[in-house]
Structure 1
C-alpha cells in the first residue's frame, strides 16, 4: 500500500499554486495540513479551489488562535475552503488551547467525515483516551505525531527512539491513518556561506529509518521547504534578505545563497534568480522526475531572457519541486 504525504503548510497562496501545478497522480498521494497564518491572504481559498477541489486537506488554526485570541480567521478559512468544494477536516491538538479545540471540534463532519488529532511522541500514550473523551471513533481520526524540529539530531538514532514509541502505542489501535511529521529545514540562509550548500533533510532521513508497524503503516509529513516557525518576518527583514533558493534532491536540499539587492554589494534580483536557475540546471542532480512544473520553470528562466521571477514566484517553484519530488520518491 503506497504511503501518503501530509505536508504541514501555511495558508499562503504560493503553497496553493505549487499544489495546483502537480500532476493528478501526485495529488493523489498528498493530503496537506494547513496552518492558518497570522493574516490569511484573501486569495488563498480561491487558489485552493482551483488546486484541490474534491480532495481532502486539513486545517489547523491553533497558531492563529494563540496570536489573535479568537477563532475567527480559522472559522472563515475553514468555511471558505468547504464552500470551494474541498472536503476540509479540522485539526485538534492535544495540549492546544481548550477554546481553540472547542472551536475546531464545532466543524466536525461539516465538509468531510472525521478530524485530525495532533500530538507529540510524548503524549501519544494519551491519544486513545483523548479520542474517547471526544466521543469520536478512532477510525474517523487521522493521527498526526509531530516529532518537532530535529535538524540537530542524528536521524538513525532518533528513528530508533520514535520506533520504540510507535511499537509501544500503535498495536491494536484503529486510527484511520497515522502520520509521523517533523521539520529540519533552516529558518533562513543567515548561517550559510555565499553560494551553494547541501543541507541534509533530517526529517526525511529519520522517517525513512523508522521501523514500520506491520498492521499500521506510518505516513510521512514535513513542513515542506520551510522551517516550522509560522511567524511572519517583518517587512524590513524581507527587504534586506538575500536572494536565495532551496531545491529538493534525494535526502538533501541544495541551498543557494545569493546577495542582497541593495547596498554596496547588492545585485538585482532578476540577475541573481537567473544565475541560480543556471546553477541548478547545470547540476547532475537537477531534474530526474517524469514531469515537474518547477523544473520546467527553472529551465525556462535559465535559458531565456524573460522574467526570472521574484520571491513569491520562487516560493512556488521551490515548493512545487519539493512536493513533486516527495510524491515520486515516497514508497
Structure 2
C-alpha cells in the first residue's frame, strides 16, 4: 500500500479537521506540516496549566489533533531562533512524547536551519525529508553528490506545487530522472506531491458548480506504474497554496471545495456585498445541499460528510469559512486515503 503524505498548514481549521478524522483514515498517512511564524506560538500559563514554549505547544497540539504516529515538520520558514533553530526543539520535544517528528528541509533553507538538520541527523541518526521542486529534480546532477545526509536516511518529496500540467509536459524527463537518482544507494522513500487546484477561482463562473480533475493522481498513477521503485503519493490538503493577494475587497464570493476520488467539486459562490449579493449563511447551506445531492459524491462514514448532510438538512449551522476548512481537510484526507491503492 502506498503511503499518503498530505501537506498542511498548522492553522486552527486544519487542526480541527484532523482532530475529527476517523482513525481508519490515518492508517498509512504521514502528514507534512508547513510551519510559519503566525502559527507557531508559545502558550501562556493559566490557573490549570503551565506555560509552554513554542515547541511544547506545537507538540501538545499534535498529540490532541493528530495523535502519536509519525509526522513531517517543515519549519524552514520560521524566523524564531533561540540558541538553536526551533526544529531542534520540536524534534526533541516530540521524542519526549514518543512521537517521531521527521525534520523536513529544502535545498535553499538558510544556513542555521540546514545546519540544525544535519546536526539532528548526526546526533540521533534521525531520518530527514528533503522537499525539491521539479526544477531541482531536473538539476539533480548539480546537488545530488553534495547532499549531506545519506540517501537511505532521506525521504525525498518531489513537490510540483500547482504545476501538475508541467508534470505531464515533462513526463518522460521526470521518469528518467527519478530512475537516475535511484541508482546506487536508493532513497529511503520518494513521494510525488502537488495539486490541480488553481491559486483562485476567478476563471470559474460564479453561482455554479464546477469539476476540476485531480491530475496529480493520474500523474502519480502513471509514474508509479512505470517505475521500478515505490512512489508514494502526496498532495495539498489545504489550498490555495499562496496567500491571497493584497487589495481583495470585503464581500468576496463564498466558495466551497469538496474532494471526490478523481475530481474536486467546486461550489462557486457570489459576493456578500453589492449588487446580486447573498448572505454567507445562505450560500454555505446551499453549497451543502449541492454536495449532498451530487450524484457521484462517494459519501463516506466520516465527520465531514455527516456535517455536510446536517448543514443541508438544517440540523447544523452552516458555520463560517473556517468551518468549511475543517470539513474540507477532513473529507479530503479521508477520501484520498480511502481511494488510494
User: Structure 2 length as normaliser, TM-score?
Assistant: 0.82
**Aligned residue in 1 for 2:126:** 113
Q: Secondary structure at the match of 2:190?
A: strand
1:262 corresponds to 2:273: yes
Out of 188, 201, 207, the residue aligned to residue 220 of structure 2 is 207
Deviations along 1:241-263, one digit per CA (max 9) or x if unpaired, are 32111111132111111122222
**What residue is the counterpart of 2:339 in the other structure?**
329
Once the 2 structures are TM-superposed, how far is the Cα of residue 9 of structure 1 from its aligned partner?
1.6
Q: CA deviation at 1:309?
A: 1.2
User: Match for 2:66 among 52, 71, 74?
Assistant: 52
Structure 1 partner of 2:173: 161
Q: Between Structure 1 and Structure 2, how many residues are aligned? A: 321
The corresponding residue for 1:308 is 318
Q: Which residue number corresponds to residue 222 of structure 1?
A: 235
Offset of residue 161 of structure 1: 3.0
Shift of 1:165: 1.4
Aligned to 1:8, the other structure's residue is in SS state strand
Question: Is 1:103 the equivalent of 2:113?
Answer: no
The structure with the larger Rg is 2
* 2:106 paired residue among 90, 93, 96: 93
Show the counterpart of 1:16.
15
What secondary structure does 2:5 align onto?
Answer: coil
Q: How does 1:1-331 map to 2 (within 5 A)?
A: 2-40=1-39, 42=41, 45-65=59-79, 85-108=98-121, 113-119=126-132, 120-125=136-141, 128-131=144-147, 134=148, 136-153=149-166, 156-194=168-206, 195-212=208-225, 215-229=228-242, 231=243, 237=248, 239-289=250-300, 291-331=301-341
- Give the deviation of 1:151 after TM superposition: 4.5
Gaps of 5+ in 2: 42-56
Q: CA deviation at 1:78?
A: 5.6
Is the CA contact (8 Å cut-off) linking 1:13 and 1:41 kept in structure 2? Answer: no
Give the corresponding residue for 2:46.
none
Does the CA-based 8 Å contact 2:85-2:116 persist in structure 1?
no
Q: Quick one: distance in 1 between partners of 2:179 and 2:105?
A: 23
TM-score (norm: length of structure 1): 0.84
Give the CA RMSD over aligned residues.
2.9
Provide structure 1 residue ranges, at least 5 long, that are not aligned to the other structure. Answer: none
